[in-house]
Amino acid sequence: MCGIAGVISFTSSLRDRQRYLTRMQETLERRGPDQKGIFLSEHAALLHTRLAVIDPEHGAQPMHYSDGREIYTIVYNGELYNTGELRDALRAEGCTFETHADTEVLLKAYAVWGEACVQRCNGIFAFAVWEQKRQRLFLARDRMGVKPLFYMLTPERLLFGSEMKAILADPDVPHEVDIEGISQLLLFGPGRTPGCGVFRNMRELPAAHCAYYTEQDGLDVRCYWKLEAREHTENFAQTAEHVRFLLTDAIRRQLVSDVPIGTFLSGGLDSSLISSVAARKFAAEGRTLHTFSVDYTDNDKYFRKSKFQPNSDPAYIRQMQAYLQAQHHWTVIDTPALAAALYEAVDARDLPGMVDVDASLLLFCREIRSHVTVALSGECADELFGGYPWYRDPEIRAAYGFPWSQSTAYRMQFARPEIAELLTQRNDVDREYQATLQRTAYLPGESAAEHRMREMMRLNLDWFMQTLLDRKDRMSMYSALEVRVPFCDYRIAQYLYNVPWEFKEYKGYEKGLLREAMRDYLPEEILWRKKSPYPKTHNPNYLTAVTELLAERLKDPDAPILQFIRRDALEQLLYGDDNVQWYGQLMTRPQTIAYFLQMDYWMEKYQVKIAI
């Protein structure tokens, strides 16, 4: 994985902006500490910081290629999992190769197939190609949106980068938030509307989109892939076998690496399956898998069962450790470190985020990076196989609106009156919910239940999953750890989109299809374990710590957050009741307090101006 950024300007020369370009590149050094490179011409600058994973000795970027008609330059962040197949197809087209790097394969794929190359790629990626003679930039992002790509278009130029901070490093870019940005922070956060970058005029290239930028036509954004509704013709046994093939194939493809690789292990179904498939492959090659788990100081003392977290992880992790015969590593986080990391998590994400979940993941990834450079993680299984409570609870499933965020009225109470009036007029939450339903593909004549389950999958893929992918990319790459997500293979998503709900809920179990398909990969206790979310601290000291921090900030009458948030609402949050669900089960009262702490810190650090 890497960091990419760039500037295209057809109205002025970029050659005298070397200092600013270097500043943009420096913001991405944590993503790619191994190498740095800059391509600079009159109207185009492409910047790269490299984390070397495949062919570390070669593959430096920006990489150039000429086919005799055009000169191509690429900067690329990602991994291709079908590099071998693409290389063979390109050799049949007459291409030769000088490296083993997938960067060279992708560059020549674009030279041969143009924008159609992205439809041939199985991987996670965000990349840019500059065509020197045509004076044209091509941008693309992977189908599932695993790798980020932000941009800002002005009358004079186009800026882009793997992270917002790269674009914000340009001195001519204002750090402003208008009413749309406030709506994102207050009504959607820590999620974001697909394509929205929160900062004024900041956008993100949506998943499965590509774009051309030229002087004549400006920016032309195109969708190159979307989920299609198709008739499912396989019986349950055939479906389970198909799922088994797709998942094991995705995991094995993603274990290719020229640097040390391991797996996250929570003791839950998803990470345990990935670890089991990986461990068997490693054992066949005479290697030992490294697995990684996180826990919190005194969680054994303070853990309490709940509807959403019926049991804690450590006992299941130890069982998997024995089953896998892996080299296991624990990271144990205490409350002071978790609270302090709230601010560093904002530095990584460039926005307020999932607070303690972000902070703990950032600290966890830092420890993992001391052992391996690449790790596989279990994100996206619940979105595809229907594992979340809102898939299975009929009342929640039927409720209007985003199922994990039914708190719009509560959130609005925090807005200053003049801000609340503008937000009410916009009606953003309802509009975006309806727009997501309209993007959903259906089959004519299917049942109302199947119709709704397609909507639920679309809602989760476009919104909840993107929030989790944001979190995983930024918190891991902050320590130059590449995290791969095998369940996010687009082939699995397309197939599961058309599998009937009765198959997914086989025998009444959440993700019953997945459990049945992979039953010989896990001990029975792990295979049928009820879902438990990403582990969080249950220590009451965390609530005390964040309460004290926010109370201290509110002593400052000029605290940045008070420009649009009511002081009295924050004080009520600090000392009111505990019945708060800001973002599903992941953000209750302690996390909501921490979210406003992050918001205040973010406004101060980034010198954010309110522009309404």
Examine the residue annotation and report whether 95 is marked as an active-site residue of this protein.
no
Number of neighbours of residue 426 by Cβ within 10 angstroms: 15
Identity at 305, one-letter amino acid code: K
Under a CB-based contact definition with an 8 Å cutoff, are residues 241 and 249 in contact?
no
**Helix/strand number for the chain, H first, E second:** 27, 19
Q: What is the C-alpha radius of gyration for the chain, rounded to an integer number of angstroms?
A: 24
Buried b (16+ CB within 10 A) or exposed e, 264-287: bbbbbbbbbbbbbbbbbebeeeee
Write the secondary structure of 113-164 as one string of H (helix), E (strand) and C (coil). HHHHHHHHCCEEEEEEEEECCCCEEEEEECCCCCCCCEEEECCCEEEEECCH
Under a CB-based contact definition with an 8 Å cutoff, are residues 211 and 150 in contact?
no
Calpha distance 193→559 (Å, rounded): 27
Give the helix ranges, DSSP H, for 520-586: 524-527, 540-553, 567-575
Under a CB-based contact definition with an 8 Å cutoff, are residues 457 and 387 in contact?
no
Calpha distance 479→373 (Å, rounded): 9
Of 2, 95, 210, 365, the catalytic one is 2
Residues written for the chain? 612
Calpha distance 343→355 (Å, rounded): 9
List C-alpha distances in Å: 611 to 166, 176, 199.
21, 6, 10
Token match 């727009």: residue?
Answer: 435
Calpha distance 165→347 (Å, rounded): 9
Among candidate residues 266, 229, 301, 226, the one with its CA nearest the CA of residue 461: 226
**Which residues participate in catalysis according to the annotation?**
2
